[in-house]
Amino acid sequence: MGKIILARVDERLIHGQVMVTLSQKNGVNSIFVVDDVVAKDKFMRELYKNAGSRTGQKTIVVTPEKAEFYWDEYEFKEYNCILIAKTVKTIYELVKHGLPMKELNVGGIAQKDAEKDVLVTKSVYLNQEDALRLKELHDDYGVEDIYFQATPSSSKSSLQDVLKQFGL
């Protein structure tokens, strides 16, 4: 049975030294990129697979539905992975479906709506809906360690500190 060692929300998915450093985390042997657009575009899928292979880890690019299927049918086989998605919503849906994860790193989310999105760290904008999703993941679905950190060398912000910005 495989395991999600670390889940990460980052709109850039695999990029630079961040993934090289994260992929060296104890026990990691693969990277799962979960994104509809990338998984359905052959050129983009190969681009991300090649980028991931530079970390030395097997890189698998799938849609959210395929990730759910792969968990349901095979429990990710022998893959101990970093699971990366572009949005909090994608991670939320995967966890609600039953994919178990204990650690979630929110690394980079750009502003989409100037009226709703709040800059919570230097590299993360969140809206109230995503803040509530993260709170629910922590409180109700066993995602024990949710933190905000753009790069492994940057400072961490806790979920509790971020939720205070929303009055939660």
Ranges of each domain in the chain: 3-163
The per-residue pLDDT for range 99-130, each reduced to its tens digit, is 999 999 999 999 999 999 999 999 999 999 99
Q: Give residue 41's pLDDT.
A: 97
Q: What percent of the chain has pLDDT over 70?
A: 100
pLDDT tens figures, 17-35: 778 888 888 899 999 999 9
Q: How far apart are CA 120 and CA 164, in angstroms?
A: 10
Read off the pLDDT band of 43 (50, 70, 90). Answer: very high
CATH code that applies to domain 3-163: 3.40.35.10
* Nearby residues of 115 by Cβ (< 8 Å), 6 or more positions away: none
Counting Cα atoms < 13 Å in the Cβ hemisphere of 45 gives 12
Q: Is 148:156 a contact under the CB 8 Å cutoff?
A: yes
**DSSP E strand stretches across the chain:** 3-10, 30-34, 58-62, 80-85, 103-108, 118-121, 124-126, 145-148, 157-158
Residues 6+ apart with CB under 8 A from 35: 13, 61, 63, 64, 85, 86, 90
Tell me: the pLDDT tens digits for 72-104?
A: 999 999 999 999 999 999 999 999 999 999 999
Q: What is the pTM of this model?
A: 0.95
pLDDT exceeds 80 at position 70: yes
Contact 98, 72 (CB under 8 A): yes
Q: At what angle do helices 64-74 and 88-97 cross, to 10 degrees?
A: 30
